[in-house]
Chains A and B, each alone.
Chain A
Amino acid sequence: MQRVPLNQGMVEWSGENPGIYLKSDPDGDYSVVALFFRIVLSPHGRGVGAIILGDPDTPSGYPEVPNLCLTDNRPMMEYLIENFASKFPTLVGKAGVQAMSWFDVTDSHQDNRNMPHSYSERLCADDLQLQMTWKNLKAPMAVEVGPNESATKAHDMYAVFLEAADARITINGTALPGQVVDRQFFGQTMSTAFLALSETWVNPV
């Protein structure tokens, strides 16, 4: 297999991008689509953010439905959504992306000291508290993909994935409904809850 030691493309962003996709009906669409971002490098600086679509197909925001975005860097998050997340297969065409309510993060906390049993991210925006928890993490897997295989269909992407057997999202202590399911991912059957660490996206030459 051809390797490229030096990628000549323009680096877009780098950081962590774990996700949780839940289904209330195993045969239906995802009832919850959630992505977390901890960005260490981007054209709009560093920061954290999360997209939570608890009702992905409804064009409404929080508190009417649990469609919300929390971040401490709005320009960064807008860039990530417009150029990346909105093109991911789980989010493309979802009415909740445009309608979700935005909140400025006032406090954030990552707990990664209990791996492989659990891993969590908590974001607070005044009295709103979001908690995402991944449970029973499996061994990490290094992945590299080009434009044909990346989620945007336009970029090179390097990452370390850890599958989680279970996951939970709570907003002010109330869990969003749905269960983790299996999906095909890089030729393997994996759950729809995952950590994506050390992830770098490159605009290829």
Chain B
Amino acid sequence: MPIKPNVRTGAIDWTGENPGMLLKTDPDGDWSVLMLYFRVVWSPVGPGNILLLYENPAKAAGMPDCCNVIMADNEALRDYIKEGFIEKLGTFGGAPAYAAASQLTIDKVVSAGDPCGDFYSETVTGGGLEVKLVWQELGKPTALELPPELTGTGDRIMYSLLVDSKSAYVEVNGRRLAGKPVSRQQAGLPLSTAFLYYSETWIFPE
């Protein structure tokens, strides 16, 4: 069924890219690593980059104890996304690592690869860390327009372009963190817990 023309009158929350990974060492166990990266091209507090990385989501500790970090190059955007978005995602905002995570500055982000190819990566540098995020075994790009009840926050409309990833990992200063993506259902689709989301827009309901 074709989409129908529409101009959304609801205010835009933010727009950009929002890839992530939720990794497990035991498919039946808890998450071993959680990661979300934001490349925001417009928000009410400006554009910027944010990396949320929990090396140990269950541990209420940050650096140097473990690599539970929130890195950003726009502090106002970091706080806006934390309060208005991450805290509404129970898996991320409700983890013991969230409040304890060290807040670091991003100096540089370098993208590589091709989301229609063999791999895609983001390398985030700052605060003495070089964090490499790698997505492989990439799926067919799929355009989504999800109503609030099908989104992670449950209260906003989301447009996005999903590229599923069956294999993904995180390296911190050359050290690979433990865990692999697992299968899950999202918005009625059988997907992996590693994903690229491009051209993603969050809109408050009209």
Contacts and interface: CB of A to CB of B under 8 A. Distances in A.
Interface of A: 1-7, 9, 11, 14-16, 40-43, 45-46, 112-113, 115, 139-149, 156, 158, 160, 162, 186-188, 197-200, 202, 204
Nearest to A157: B3
Contact of B189 (A6, A16, A156, A188): A6
Residue from the set A11, A15, A141 with the largest chain B CB neighbour count within 10 Å: A11
B200 A145 contact: no
B110 interface: no
A144 B141 contact: no
Contacts of A41: 115-116, 141, 161, 163, 198
Contact of B46 (A3, A113, A148, A204): A113
Interface of B: 1-8, 10-12, 15-17, 41-42, 46-47, 111, 114-117, 140-147, 150, 159, 161, 163, 187-189, 198-201, 203
A160 B15 contact: yes
A152 to B, nearest CB: 14
Contact of A11 (B10, B141, B147, B200): B141
A144 B161 contact: no
A163 B62 CA distance: 42
B4 A2 contact: yes
Given A1-B6, A204-B2, 6 more contacts: A4-B1, A6-B142, A6-B144, A145-B5, A146-B3, A200-B143
Given A41-B161, A115-B47, A7 B42 contact: no
B170 to A, nearest CB: 21
A6 B143 CA distance: 6
Given A3-B145, A16-B41, A156-B143, A198 B199 contact: yes
22 contacts: A2-B1, A4-B2, A4-B3, A4-B145, A7-B142, A7-B143, A7-B144, A40-B115, A40-B198, A40-B199, A113-B46, A140-B15, A141-B8, A143-B7, A144-B159, A146-B3, A160-B201, A186-B7, A198-B15, A198-B159, A198-B200, A204-B2
B187 A14 contact: no
Nearest to B17: A40
A15 B159 CA distance: 13
A140 B150 contact: no
Contact of A5 (B5, B16, B144, B201): B144
B7 to A, nearest CB: 5
Residue from the set B7, B42, B111, B199 with the largest chain A CB neighbour count within 10 Å: B199
Contacts of A198: 15-16, 41, 159, 198-201
Contacts of B203: 142
